[in-house]
């Protein structure tokens, strides 16, 4: 069998050998000691990684990022709730649609693709319309690579007394995040991104305020997404006891446990900060290479560019054939995703434990340079590789 190409997309990501090993084991029973130990470890690690404080409730459910978003949304909004969505791309639109389907009235605080919405204008909107009670934020929108100044947006939400929902699917582990300190109400993620697990698990952290907001809902959420369906199960698992609501994805939880062990092995005790630091370094290295290759980023400024992926503009006259040429070099990159700019952009993931592999980062730059050449463009591949390598070497 030929070696798999290097997966440099913004999820699913390259996983550690220990994760592959966990995936190849028979899925254990959901009341087994082995499974309960894995759930306990994962739930505890979530508290550390989210920096959630002891009063928050972590949930691990079968599904993915979308399911996690659905859970947070449907436990926060009633029909008629007025919500504002800060829009940075496709995933903000998804959150808006979920809120609408829940019967909420949705306002969009918008920005052009590649730009971040203005926090002061949001503050004015919340001040002038006291009827708004829910604020939805996408920390990193994977369709644009735009990073929101989450701390600032949450500060505004807290001051204005609204319930905040954060989609951290593409940021958790790759960007600094402090749920309790920053005052986020619900923060959702998924297994297949920076955490370095396989796809298939929805990860939700609900603050005590989010749990209380659920208790006050007039219309309960769908049973399978209800915080109240799962709370006692998660509490039991965290104490190493069995409880049942729906059959958990036992095999995937073992793989997530292995992924989180790897994350803490790489990042050490300070992993919630160290992992994002390493993602930032990887981003700088990749972008140093992009600069030499003459490629432009979609995010308007480096300060709003995510650490876990680079959304890049195709050079004029080139399209998806570039990704095919890069794949011929053994590296998988992702096409554009945002409907408005799908054909003008592609995306490079530098997400998950691969950010600790200098060889993989440099190889990605090299493959991109060679791909450009295969498409008939001039590209100084060795200078690009050197630029990326220099950034990494400076930190060693
Ligand atoms: N939100 C963001 C920011 C994402 O990047 C993604 C996945 N790309 C999702 C939500 C949805 O997650 P999933 O595809 O696992 O349902």
Non-local (6+) Cβ contacts of 248 within 8 A are 30, 35, 39, 60, 61, 62
- For residues 86 and 99, give the distance between their C-alpha atoms in angstroms, rounded to a whole number: 13
Cα of 146 from ligand 1 centre, angstroms: 14
| 40 dihedral zone (left: phi>0; alpha: psi -120 to 50; beta) | alpha
Output the tens digit of pLDDT for each of the chain's 396 residues.
457 999 999 999 999 999 999 999 999 999 999 999 999 999 999 999 999 999 999 999 999 999 999 999 999 999 999 999 999 999 999 999 999 999 999 999 999 999 999 999 999 999 999 999 999 999 999 999 999 999 999 999 999 999 999 999 999 999 999 999 999 999 999 999 999 999 999 999 999 999 999 999 999 999 999 999 999 999 999 999 999 999 999 999 999 999 999 999 999 999 999 999 999 999 999 999 999 999 999 999 999 999 999 999 999 999 999 999 999 999 999 999 999 999 999 999 999 999 999 999 999 999 999 999 999 999 999 999 999 999 999 987
If we measure between CA atoms, which residue out of 103, 32, 72 comes closest to residue 253?
A: 32
Give me the DSSP letters along 254-266.
HHHHHHHHHHHHH
- For residues 82 and 243, give the distance between their C-alpha atoms in angstroms, rounded to a whole number: 36
Q: Which atom of ligand 1 is nearest to the CA of 67?
A: 16
Protein residue closest via CA to atom 2 of ligand 1: 169
The DSSP output letter for 220 is: P
Give me the DSSP letters along 286-309.
HHHHHHHTT-EESSSSGGGB-SSE
- For residues 255 and 263, give the distance between their C-alpha atoms in angstroms, rounded to a whole number: 12
3-state class (DSSP) for residue 9: coil
- For residues 30 and 214, give the distance between their C-alpha atoms in angstroms, rounded to a whole number: 27
- For residues 282 and 156, give the distance between their C-alpha atoms in angstroms, rounded to a whole number: 31
- For residues 153 and 365, give the distance between their C-alpha atoms in angstroms, rounded to a whole number: 34
Q: Which atom of ligand 1 is nearest to the CA of 190?
A: 15
Residue 65's H or E segment, with its range, is: helix 65-74
- Ligand 1: residue of 7, 60, 62, 64 to mutate (most ligand atoms within 8 A of CB) is 64
Quick check: pTM over 0.85? yes
Give me the DSSP letters along 31-63.
TSHHHHHHHHHHHHHHHHHHT--TT-EEEEEES
172 touches ligand 1 (CB under 6 Å): no
Helix pair 271-292, 33-50: axis angle to 10 deg: 70
């Amino acid at each position: 069998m030929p070696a798999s190409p290097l997966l440099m997309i913004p999820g699913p990501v390259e996983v550690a050998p220990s994760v592959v090993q966990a995936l190849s084991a028979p899925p254990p029973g959901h009341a087994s000691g082995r499974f309960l130990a894995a759930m306990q470890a994962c739930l505890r690690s979530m508290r550390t990684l989210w920096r959630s404080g002891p009063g928050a409730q972590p949930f691990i459910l079968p599904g993915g990022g979308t399911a996690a978003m659905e859970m947070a949304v449907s436990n926060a909004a009633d029909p008629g709730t007025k919500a504002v969505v800060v829009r940075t791309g496709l995933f903000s639109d998804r959150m808006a649609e979920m809120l609408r389907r829940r019967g909420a009235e949705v306002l969009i605080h918008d920005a052009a693709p590649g730009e971040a919405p203005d926090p002061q204008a949001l503050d004015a909107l919340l001040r002038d319309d006291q009827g708004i009670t829910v604020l939805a934020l996408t920390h990193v929108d994977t369709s644009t690579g735009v990073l929101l100044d989450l701390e600032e947006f949450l500060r505004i939400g807290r001051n204005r007394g609204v319930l905040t929902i954060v989609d951290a699917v593409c940021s958790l582990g790759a960007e600094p995040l402090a749920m309790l300190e920053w005052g986020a109400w619900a923060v959702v993620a998924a297994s297949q991104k920076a955490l370095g697990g396989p796809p298939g698990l929805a990860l939700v952290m609900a603050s005590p305020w989010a749990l209380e907001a659920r208790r006050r809902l007039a219309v309960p959420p769908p049973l399978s997404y209800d915080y109240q369906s799962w709370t006692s199960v998660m509490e039991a698992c965290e104490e190493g006891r069995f409880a049942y609501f729906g059959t958990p994805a036992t095999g995937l939880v073992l793989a997530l446990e292995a992924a989180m062990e790897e994350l803490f092995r790489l990042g050490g005790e300070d992993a919630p900060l160290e992992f994002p630091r390493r993602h930032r370094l990887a981003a700088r290295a990749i972008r140093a290479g992009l600069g030499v290759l003459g490629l432009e980023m979609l995010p308007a400024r480096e300060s709003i560019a995510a650490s876990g992926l680079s959304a890049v503009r195709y050079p004029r006259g080139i399209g998806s054939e570039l990704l095919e040429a890069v794949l011929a070099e053994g590296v998988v990159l992702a096409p554009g995703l945002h409907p408005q700019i799908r054909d003008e952009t592609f995306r490079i993931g530098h997400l998950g434990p691969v950010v600790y592999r200098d060889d993989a980062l440099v190889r990605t730059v090299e493959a991109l340079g060679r791909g450009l050449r295969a498409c008939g463009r001039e590209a100084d591949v060795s200078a690009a590789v050197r630029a990326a390598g220099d950034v990494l070497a400076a930190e060693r």
